[in-house]
Structure 1
Amino acid sequence: MKPLHWCLTGIVASAVHAAPPDLAPQPWQGQAANLASQLIGHYHYTPVALDDIQSERIFARYLKALDPDRLYFLQADIDGWQAARHQLDDAILGKDLRIPFALYNRYARRADERFAHARKLLAAGFDFSADETYPLRRDNADWARATSELDELWRKRVKNDWLQLRLAGQDDDTIRRTLERRYTGFQRRLEKARSEDAFQLFMGAYTASVDPHTAYLGARAADDLDISMRLSLVGIGAVLEEKDDYATIRELTPGGPAAASGRLHVGDRIVGVGEGEQGQIEDVLSWRLDDIATRVRGKADTVVRLDILPGGTQGGQPQSVALVRKKISLDDQAASKAIVDTAEGGRPRRIGVITLPAFYQDFEARNRGEAGFRSATRDVARLLAELRAEQVDGLLIDLRDNGGGSLDEAVELTGLFIETGPVVQQRDARGRTQVSGDNNPAIAWSGPLAVLIDRNSASASEIFAAAIQDYRRGVVVGETSYGKGSVQTLVNLDRMASGSPNGTNGLGELKFTIQQFYRINGSTTQLRGVKPDVVLPVLPAHAQPGEASFDNALPFQRIRAANYDTLALLDDSATVLQQRHAARVAASPELQ
């Protein structure tokens, strides 16, 4: 009977839809919100009072997070929450989050109603001969005053979704199935919502009302941040995705336990998870993907057992696979190198390119005193040694799409290219300035250097690029960077609550702004970013917003320059490069 069980489970999951749960705040969430408010009120770079004015800001951002295009709520909902506009500060200070949860529950019901209505519209199809328009952005539109008004709005929205798929070449039957899956999938996500989801949304609205880079991280988000900084996790080496209600293997990490076993493949579906050699296998078919991923991960050298439905099969008896969890290195997110062979004046040139996606560092391993802890600087130093051995003539550091990371790593990475000297200045809320710099005279690369940045290069990327530019150590190429000039710290709320350094992540963590950083020339990257020496054209369609797009970003400021000496490595090279680039742009229609 077991094969029939699995087959029927899939059928029932596709056919039955339950209403979203009525979520209630947990006591620990009120405590976490209150602790966050204490940190923000006392230690933020620009302390923000939690009062009725701030409550209005939180309320506006919370509504925008729940219903950004005003597709779910009615004007009557908004009118009924007038008092709540000035009560969210009291909710946080009083550790009573019933009001923000009531708003979330109303959103979930309204959204579920809308997608149920959207599914009903699919049966009849649409007449595209009518002259109609649908506004793609409604963030400033009026709230609908009646359900009939929302119905008409959603008719046009579904019609637009249908049209987009038709323009992509799908026939009507395929479109109907695609949209049915899309709308049903949204309803199922609402069904699986937990109090942590509502709390995260509310805390996101609260912290975003303070500044763009202050944020609350729930336990799972905090763990994910740790993974991204140390570039490793303990698990089986499989990337999962939700596909047709199954946790499906999207990718296997080469050399990981899953790939090495030879028994798991891309497209296989996980339907059961058990701990240890004898632990009971739990049916996870209705579980959220993040819960399944958490169960699959665990401590190194422990056993996890999985029930697997092979990809391409329709139900059937699941296969049981036992794997030993191992440390998985996320090398695809680490620094990497390549060599580009080119020519200049008829002479061959070899250019080394190091791509750095983030300024990562394994903080825990470093704090434990491990000699071989992983970091961006160490990886880049190793790659530079390899490029020197391969006798490259020049070096390009590619920081495009690098949103930053560890400030210490930005300082240490700069130290690979200068002897000694200041790299960045930091000023706290009291106006005290400290200078962070390189004290190691050793240089890993003394040859020609260029740094490539784009609009998504931010924070630590801007510290590095600015220092290279201020020292005239290399040429900065690309487009003006993001414009983030602030420093954040991360506080474990459990440790704050208990006073113990060994707190877990049960209450989560708060990332909040404590300093503003400045270039060694006294300017800041805040709002204005780093302007390249050689500016590459950017198509308007590809232009990205930066820090200046936030209404509560810190202002641009200047302070006194640090004591440093520029290097004579560039001479007139930057000017020559600018002239050559301008001529190349003028002669290329594609770059106009």
Structure 2
Amino acid sequence: MTSVTPRKKIFRTVLILLLIGVTLPLLTGADIGEPSTKNRQIALMVRGIVSSQHLTRHELDDEISERAFNTFIDRLDPMKLYFLQEDIDAFQTEKTEIDDMLKSGDLQFAHDVFLKYMSRMEESIAVVHGLIDAEHDYGVEEYISTDWDNLAFAKSREDLTDRWRKRIKYNFLVLKGDKTEGEAARERLHRRYNSQLKQMQQTQSDELLEIFLTAVTTSYDPHTTYMSPTTSENFEIQMRLNLDGIGAQLTLEDGYTKITRIIPGGAADKQGELKPGDRIVSVGQDEEGELQDVIDMKLNNVVALIRGKPGTTVRLGIIPEKSQETKILAIKRAKIELTDSEARGEIIEHTLPGSKKTLRIGVINLPSFYMDMDAARKGVKDYRSTTRDCRRIIEEFNDEGIDGMIMDLSTNGGGSLTEAIDLTGLFIDLGTVVQVKDPSGRVQQYDDRTKGTSYDGPLVVLCSKFSASASEIFAGAIVDHGRGIVVGDSTTHGKGTVQNFLELGARFFNINNPPNLGALKITMQQFYRPGGDSTQQRGVYSDIILPSITDHMKVSESDLDYPVPFDKVEDEVDEKLGLRDADLIGKLKAASAKRVEASKDFQKLLGQIEEYKKQQEEKRVSLEEKVFFAKKEENSAQEEAQENLAKRVNGEADVFPDTFYNKEVLTITGEYIHTQAN
């Protein structure tokens, strides 16, 4: 399977769906043991594939070793709260040796670093509890650094303790902002840091292997990653948009597994008693199975206990959000369709300013380019497909009648290359959709070979910095073929590489039911628009730019470590469709700019953007209470933007929410429709 999905680093809280799988034995940090023969074999496999098949053909050498060393340390201790500088100095002697270690499958360095990390964590958490119980002066002017990349490791235990003192002060201020103070705040912080330590002590050997090998693979480019068996299974579930479980989203909060969302139509939704905010404290199998305590358990392990085959029963011990009493719920597991991530459509009636005519504009909200890879491999005829779902929506639009259409890719981080090509074919009649170059330099064109289109009217593609990979293939092809216009942030994410998903067990064991050794998602190709430009580090430029905070977030490909460079190939577009030109775009841009200038909402947003840009330049946070809360009030626009984005990504918002921003997109689309009609 070929994937073009970028690594996402957008949200603080990772929501994990209840997935089907196998529970693995737990190991404490101190007892993680020596590297296993199996893990050594996996390391050798990964080294061999990446060294010979990665797009860049970069040798696994000292340069990659140094990158991997820095990344591995950063993955373990990104805020520099546990290791001391003396630890880093001791590790430094091995920083150019990782390439040689992997040639023999030697993983001892990774284990040694992790055990030192666990030792330092235990020391620090012991200090933290004393700092939580101490009194703090919130009137003094002092700051906590947020510039972790340029922050040095503490030179002594005293320096590290002072760093933790500021961290705990910051925690108390954040909790006060959430109306939690005094003993309640202390109790919560004690529980939080106890839980963090306990969770790290549950680290499994395959988790450590994933962290270490991914530190190596992402030293080639940001998207080449080793996935443990659990991670690779979760990746496939996200692509096929269905799973077996109860249908809930969870997060870990101060040691408790907390329900953040119930998936509509899922088993928990139909059972009716489980609610967002409830905390899961125990899990039991079937009607009579013993309830196992899950407080302070790692989230993946709680998920493994809850998931299971459709038709079986799981019992949950929960504490409702506004209660301290535990009650037991029995839920029958089922196959859950992840409709939040599938294409959704809606026809919106919109009247242009100064006009009496109402236009009917069809909007498709597409969060990802999904495909049921397993069903496709098995030859299932009607497997889950982005293109199939969008074609059905477009047919409904055509039946009901529309004047124009918006394809909303503003939260679409990518997915299947095949689906990107096929979806583009619904809007163009034959022609190159994307060009792909392999490590040897050979360029291959992938064309739409299906005659005819599903929709040939005015088309607007809405994009943002979060529109990546497959989204950029689609948007780039629409522009290069002269098929429509792009509106949104100044440019898209800028990911122009293609990853192949290689299951290691199936690749190295030519037998039925090979062992699950995880998977390697490796960058093996670079893609190019029909016109020859790569989107790598550049993206697809919008024809009409609308102000947004997301346009100023550091979330682009160029903001990641070690991205593949931009380049070009030959132009393969023979004839443009004539649905866009410079004069047309200039008129639409000028009209939009005039409306934005006259809009109080957009002017307010522009002020918030300036504030946001100033905030990004600040590399520290004040711990003086009055200053802290004054700044928090100023930061509300950024927090609101992130919350709205999270709702859209999780499918909690309408297909096309009724906002001033979207109204302007509708107006641009309406004016575009008029130009095509005249």
TM norm structure 1: 0.90
Q: Which runs of 5+ in 2 are unaligned?
A: 1-26, 607-678
Counterpart among 465, 468, 473 of residue 458 in structure 1: 468
1:567 partnered with 2:581: no
Counterpart among 334, 344, 363 of residue 326 in structure 1: 334
Aligned equivalents of 2:38, 2:313: Cα separation in 1: 30
Residue aligned with 1:21, SS: helix
1:255-314 per-position Cα deviation (integer Å, ceiling 9, x unaligned): 333333456555263623326x77x4362435433223223323344x234253463665
Match of 2:543 in 1: 533
Aligned equivalents of 2:65, 2:435: Cα separation in 1: 34
Counterpart among 587, 602, 605 of residue 576 in structure 1: 587
2:155 partner letter: R
Match of 1:10 in 2: none
Aligned equivalents of 1:128, 1:308: Cα separation in 2: 40
The answer to whether the 8 Å contact 1:30/1:96 transfers is yes
Match of 1:69 in 2: 79
Match of 1:432 in 2: 442
The answer to whether the 8 Å contact 1:238/1:249 transfers is yes
Residue aligned with 2:80, SS: coil
Residue aligned with 1:488, SS: strand
Superposed, 1:258-277 pairs within 5 Å as 258-262=268-272, 264=274, 266=276, 267=278, 269=280, 271-274=282-285
Counterpart among 144, 151, 157 of residue 141 in structure 1: 151
Structure possessing the higher relative contact order (Cα contacts under 8 Å, 6 or more residues apart): 2
| Aligned pairs, number | 569
The answer to whether the 8 Å contact 2:271/2:331 transfers is no
Q: CA deviation at 1:23?
A: 2.1
Match of 1:285 in 2: 294
Match of 2:519 in 1: 509
Residue aligned with 2:347, SS: strand
The answer to whether the 8 Å contact 1:585/1:591 transfers is no
1:207 partnered with 2:217: yes
Residue aligned with 2:415, SS: coil
Counterpart among 308, 325, 330 of residue 317 in structure 2: 308
Structure 2 vs 1, CA of residues 448 and 430 (structure 1 numbering), >3 Å: closer, same or farther? Answer: same
The answer to whether the 8 Å contact 2:196/2:255 transfers is no
The answer to whether the 8 Å contact 1:488/1:515 transfers is yes
2:428 partner letter: I
1:567 partner letter: L
Counterpart among 181, 188, 193 of residue 203 in structure 2: 193
Aligned equivalents of 1:123, 1:528: Cα separation in 2: 50
Match of 1:586 in 2: 597
Aligned equivalents of 1:252, 1:559: Cα separation in 2: 47
Match of 2:496 in 1: 485
The answer to whether the 8 Å contact 1:493/1:507 transfers is yes
Bigger drift between 254-263 and 359-368 goes to 254-263
Structure 2 vs 1, CA of residues 501 and 434 (structure 1 numbering), >3 Å: closer, same or farther? Answer: farther
Cα RMSD after superposing both structures:
2.5
Aligned equivalents of 1:552, 1:305: Cα separation in 2: 44
Q: CA deviation at 1:381?
A: 1.0
Residue aligned with 2:346, SS: strand
Superposed, 1:116-135 pairs within 5 Å as 116-135=126-145
Counterpart among 56, 64, 67 of residue 66 in structure 2: 56
Match of 2:409 in 1: 399
Residue aligned with 2:203, SS: coil
Counterpart among 353, 376, 389 of residue 379 in structure 1: 389
The answer to whether the 8 Å contact 1:424/1:437 transfers is yes
1:339 partnered with 2:344: no
Following TM superposition, the consecutive aligned residue runs of length 4 or more in structure 1 with deviations greater than 6 angstroms are none
Q: CA deviation at 1:248?
A: 4.6
Residue aligned with 1:233, SS: strand
Structure 2 vs 1, CA of residues 27 and 313 (structure 1 numbering), >3 Å: closer, same or farther? Answer: farther
Structure 2 vs 1, CA of residues 141 and 238 (structure 1 numbering), >3 Å: closer, same or farther? Answer: closer
Aligned equivalents of 1:314, 1:584: Cα separation in 2: 53
The answer to whether the 8 Å contact 1:273/1:284 transfers is no
Aligned equivalents of 2:605, 2:315: Cα separation in 1: 53
Q: CA deviation at 1:246?
A: 4.7
Match of 2:307 in 1: 297
Structure 2 vs 1, CA of residues 300 and 159 (structure 1 numbering), >3 Å: closer, same or farther? Answer: closer
Aligned equivalents of 2:433, 2:28: Cα separation in 1: 56
Aligned equivalents of 1:295, 1:155: Cα separation in 2: 37
Aligned equivalents of 1:248, 1:291: Cα separation in 2: 14
Residue aligned with 1:385, SS: helix
Superposed, 1:27-46 pairs within 5 Å as 27-46=37-56
Match of 2:633 in 1: none
Aligned equivalents of 1:482, 1:213: Cα separation in 2: 13
Aligned equivalents of 1:104, 1:225: Cα separation in 2: 26
Aligned equivalents of 2:280, 2:80: Cα separation in 1: 37
The answer to whether the 8 Å contact 1:377/1:413 transfers is yes
Structure 2 vs 1, CA of residues 255 and 159 (structure 1 numbering), >3 Å: closer, same or farther? Answer: closer
TM norm structure 2: 0.79
Q: CA deviation at 1:132?
A: 2.1
Aligned equivalents of 2:538, 2:275: Cα separation in 1: 47
Residue aligned with 2:521, SS: strand
1:481 partner letter: T
Aligned equivalents of 2:168, 2:241: Cα separation in 1: 41
Structure 2 vs 1, CA of residues 126 and 478 (structure 1 numbering), >3 Å: closer, same or farther? Answer: same
Q: CA deviation at 1:79?
A: 1.9
Aligned equivalents of 1:243, 1:532: Cα separation in 2: 39
Match of 1:102 in 2: 112
Q: Which runs of 5+ in 1 are unaligned?
A: 1-17
Structure 2 vs 1, CA of residues 587 and 252 (structure 1 numbering), >3 Å: closer, same or farther? Answer: closer
The answer to whether the 8 Å contact 1:33/1:95 transfers is yes
The answer to whether the 8 Å contact 1:281/1:305 transfers is no
Structure 2 vs 1, CA of residues 573 and 500 (structure 1 numbering), >3 Å: closer, same or farther? Answer: farther
Structure 2 vs 1, CA of residues 248 and 169 (structure 1 numbering), >3 Å: closer, same or farther? Answer: closer
Residue aligned with 1:374, SS: coil
Q: CA deviation at 1:135?
A: 1.7
1:481-522 per-position Cα deviation (integer Å, ceiling 9, x unaligned): 111111110111112221347434x31100111111111111
